[in-house]
């Protein structure tokens, strides 16, 4: 099976890089997005999201005529849906996945579908979403046959294939990572493999759609549970006066132990979200996964408590000092190191809470952004050098490589290190 024209629905963090990589393999790609502004930016050869080197690949693909964006779906041989699956909002929305974007996307491509087309869902989804998508398509196109009713003989092939790329390394991982491909039938999987083989160098491993959906959720839950274990250890070690960083380093010397690193909480739009899709479907069974989410969600609050304790300590040691005289510096705002993505960032949530503590000054050092988000009141974006000289309390929130090195605290300066890169007891002897 060969594909001359592929349509990617949803030109965000996953859809746009996928569209660009496919186009770089000289496949004609029609990118579809409801956001006219994003469509215009892409058609001008630029990008509306941040990902290293993506601008170069998109620019080349558009200039050479292989990538074009539009707001209205057009006929293609394969459709790749990469739209968001957020939580439902409103009083009933208790971390329940909202499939309305997938429904809208599938209903929008239904009119242009024809016999022999392939539809792949890439969006992180609860188990059963691909079958649901196939049902929406079939509902909109009763004149075509679908795999859930016609098996291997269906007119349309449908598969689930989760993305697994790491923000900041998307272009490399899109090509190199192995892919799990869950077709509704074997024929569907075969068609999807033929598509991914255009640009994937990793292995394409087939399973059914439900297992592929659960596989994606499992990968991110595995990481969340492991980070929760590290975060829980950090709370325990703090009480027991033990350096959690040294402890983990030592425990990880065991050949079968590999604990992840504690931090200020778990951010981003994947790991803090996906486990809830399992909990929401199986609330009685998914006890550990739920508790892990709660442990990680509590961590930013705990960090703010540590900052408050540091402020009290400072004021007790300096009787002439008032709360209004205290200067606090946050090092890092992004959701993880060496990127500029602030979405669901625990560091940003912590800075926001600190900005409301009534202190005299909040300084922020974030080399990856040029202006502060509006949620942080009265804060100032400054250089690391300025913050180190001026602040009474330094809070290390993100382990950006720019921050690594000796912090050299001044007399009476206090440190809250959530990543273990400045804390003397954390750094390996
Ligand atoms: N974090 C820690 N301690 C650690 C590792 C991470 O506190 O030891 C924190 C980070 O600081 C960050 C959060 O966890 O706040 C998530 O960061 P991450 O690097 O673990 O993951 P993401 O969200 O950037 O990307 C994940 C990846 N999933 C896995 O590694 C299993 C990626 O491969 C997925 O494609 C992506 O989610 C996604 O889109 O689902």
**pLDDT reported for residue 2:** 87
Of ligand 1's listed atoms, the one at least distance from the Cα of 274 is: 40
Q: Tokens at residue 295, please?
A: 């442990």
Q: Quick one: three-class SS letters along 366-377?
A: CCCCCCCCCCCC
Q: Is the CB of 164 under 6 A from ligand 1?
A: yes
Check residue 151 and report its DSSP letter: G
The confidence band for 213, taking pLDDT boundaries of 50, 70 and 90, is: very high
Let me know if 216 is a catalytic residue: yes
**pLDDT reported for residue 423:** 76
Cα 338 to middle of ligand 1, angstroms: 13
Of ligand 1's listed atoms, the one at least distance from the Cα of 168 is: 24
- Residue of 161, 187, 188, 216 marked catalytic: 216
How much of the chain, in percent, has pLDDT values that exceed 90? 91
Q: Give yes or no for residue 331 having a pLDDT over 90.
A: yes
End-to-end CA distance of the chain: 58
Secondary structure of residue 11 in the 3-state scheme:
coil
Cα 18 to middle of ligand 1, angstroms: 20
Of ligand 1's listed atoms, the one at least distance from the Cα of 398 is: 11
List helix spans (H) across 318-372: 346-354
The confidence band for 406, taking pLDDT boundaries of 50, 70 and 90, is: confident
**pLDDT reported for residue 425:** 63
Q: What is the pTM of this model?
A: 0.94
Average pLDDT on 350-374 reads 96
Q: Provide the residue ranges of all domains of the chain, joining segments of one domain with +.
A: 5-202, 299-426
Atom 27 in ligand 1: residue holding the nearest Cα:
166
Q: 17 near 170, Cβ under 8 Å? A: yes
Q: Is the CB of 299 under 6 A from ligand 1?
A: no
The answer to whether 5-202 and 299-426 have equal CATH topology is: yes
* Cβ contacts of 316 within 8 Å, gap of 6 or more: none
Q: Is the CB of 268 under 6 A from ligand 1?
A: yes
Give the tens place of pLDDT for each residue, 97-143: 999 999 999 999 999 999 999 999 999 999 999 999 999 999 999 99
Q: Is the CB of 165 under 6 A from ligand 1?
A: yes
- Residue of 270, 290, 306, 336 marked catalytic: 270
Give the tens place of pLDDT for each residue, 138-172: 999 999 999 999 999 999 999 999 999 998 899 99
Of ligand 1's listed atoms, the one at least distance from the Cα of 165 is: 35
Taking every pair of Cα atoms in the chain, the longest distance, rounded to a whole number of angstroms, is 82
Q: Tokens at residue 380, please?
A: 């100032």
Q: Is the CB of 269 under 6 A from ligand 1?
A: no
**pLDDT reported for residue 1:** 79
Residue 116 falls in which region: left (phi positive, over 0), alpha (psi -120 to 50) or beta: left
**pLDDT reported for residue 92:** 57
Let me know if 270 is a catalytic residue: yes
**pLDDT reported for residue 320:** 93
The confidence band for 429, taking pLDDT boundaries of 50, 70 and 90, is: very low
Comparing C-alpha atoms, which of 101, 100, 113 is closest to residue 140? Answer: 113
pLDDT, the chain, mean: 95
User: Tokens 């965000």 identify what position?
Assistant: 12
247 to 148, 234, 255, 266, 406: CA distances (angstroms): 52, 10, 15, 21, 21
Q: Is the CB of 351 under 6 A from ligand 1?
A: no
Of ligand 1's listed atoms, the one at least distance from the Cα of 268 is: 23
Beta partners for residue 183, in sequence order: 159, 208
The confidence band for 74, taking pLDDT boundaries of 50, 70 and 90, is: very high
Residue of 14, 18, 166 best suited for mutating to test ligand 1, as the one with most atoms within 8 Å of CB: 166
**pLDDT reported for residue 269:** 87
Q: Is the CB of 176 under 6 A from ligand 1?
A: no
Which CATH number does the domain 299-426 belong to among 3.40.50.720, 2.70.98.30, 3.40.50.1000, 3.40.50.300? 3.40.50.720
Cα 223 to middle of ligand 1, angstroms: 7
CATH code at 5-202:
3.40.50.720
Residue of 214, 234, 249, 268 best suited for mutating to test ligand 1, as the one with most atoms within 8 Å of CB: 268
Give the tens place of pLDDT for each residue, 366-382: 999 999 999 997 899 99
Give just the sign of the alpha carbon dihedral 288, 289, 290, 295: positive
Atom 35 in ligand 1: residue holding the nearest Cα:
164
Check residue 324 and report its DSSP letter: G
Q: Give yes or no for residue 428 having a pLDDT over 60.
A: no
The confidence band for 427, taking pLDDT boundaries of 50, 70 and 90, is: low
**pLDDT reported for residue 93:** 59
Residue of 17, 97, 245, 336 best suited for mutating to test ligand 1, as the one with most atoms within 8 Å of CB: 336
* Cβ contacts of 306 within 8 Å, gap of 6 or more: 238, 416
Average pLDDT on 22-32 reads 98
Average pLDDT on 321-343 reads 95
Q: Is the CB of 167 under 6 A from ligand 1?
A: yes
Cα 271 to middle of ligand 1, angstroms: 6
**pLDDT reported for residue 405:** 86
């Amino acid at each position: 099976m060969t594909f001359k024209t592929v349509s990617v629905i949803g030109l965000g963090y996953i859809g746009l890089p996928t569209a660009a990589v496919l186009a770089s393999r000289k496949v004609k790609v029609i990118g579809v997005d409801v956001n006219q502004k994003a469509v215009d930016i892409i058609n001008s050869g630029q990008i509306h999201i941040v990902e290293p080197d993506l601008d170069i690949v998109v620019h080349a693909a558009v200039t050479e005529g292989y990538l074009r964006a539009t707001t209205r779906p057009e006929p293609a041989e394969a459709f790749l849906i990469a739209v968001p699956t957020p939580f439902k909002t409103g009083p009933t929305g208790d971390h329940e996945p909202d499939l309305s974007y997938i429904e809208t996307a599938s209903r929008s491509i239904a009119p242009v579908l024809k016999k022999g087309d392939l539809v792949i869902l890439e969006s992180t989804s609860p188990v059963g979403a691909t079958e649901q998508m196939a049902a929406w398509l079939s509902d909109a196109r009763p004149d075509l046959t679908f795999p859930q009713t016609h098996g291997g003989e269906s007119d349309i092939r449908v598969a689930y294939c989760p993305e697994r790329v790491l923000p900041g390394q998307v272009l490399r991982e899109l090509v190199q990572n192995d892919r799990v491909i869950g077709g509704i039938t074997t024929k569907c999987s075969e068609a999807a493999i033929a598509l991914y083989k255009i640009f994937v160098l990793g292995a394409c491993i087939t399973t059914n759609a439900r297992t592929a959906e659960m596989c994606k959720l499992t990968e991110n839950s595995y990481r969340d549970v492991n980070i929760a274990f590290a975060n829980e250890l950090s709370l325990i070690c703090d009480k027991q006066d033990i350096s959690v960083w040294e402890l983990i380093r030592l425990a990880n010397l065991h050949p079968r132990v590999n604990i992840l690193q504690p931090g200020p909480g778990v951010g981003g739009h994947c790991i803090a979200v996906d486990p809830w899709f399992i909990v929401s479907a199986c609330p009685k069974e998914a006890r550990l996964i739920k508790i892990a989410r709660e442990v990680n969600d509590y961590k930013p609050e705990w960090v703010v408590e540590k900052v408050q304790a540091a402020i009290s300590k400072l004021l007790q040691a300096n009787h002439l000092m008032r709360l209004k005289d205290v200067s606090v510096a946050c090092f890092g705002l992004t959701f993880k190191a060496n990127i500029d993505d602030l979405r669901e960032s625990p560091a940003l949530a912590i800075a926001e809470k600190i900005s409301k503590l009534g202190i005299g000054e909040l300084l922020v050092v974030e080399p990856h952004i040029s202006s502060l988000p509006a949620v942080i009141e009265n804060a100032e974006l400054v250089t690391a050098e300025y913050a180190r000289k001026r602040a009474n309390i330094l809070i290390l929130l993100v382990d950006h490589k720019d921050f690594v090195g000796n912090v050299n605290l001044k007399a009476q300066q206090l440190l809250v290190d959530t990543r273990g890169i400045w804390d003397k007891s954390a750094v390996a002897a």
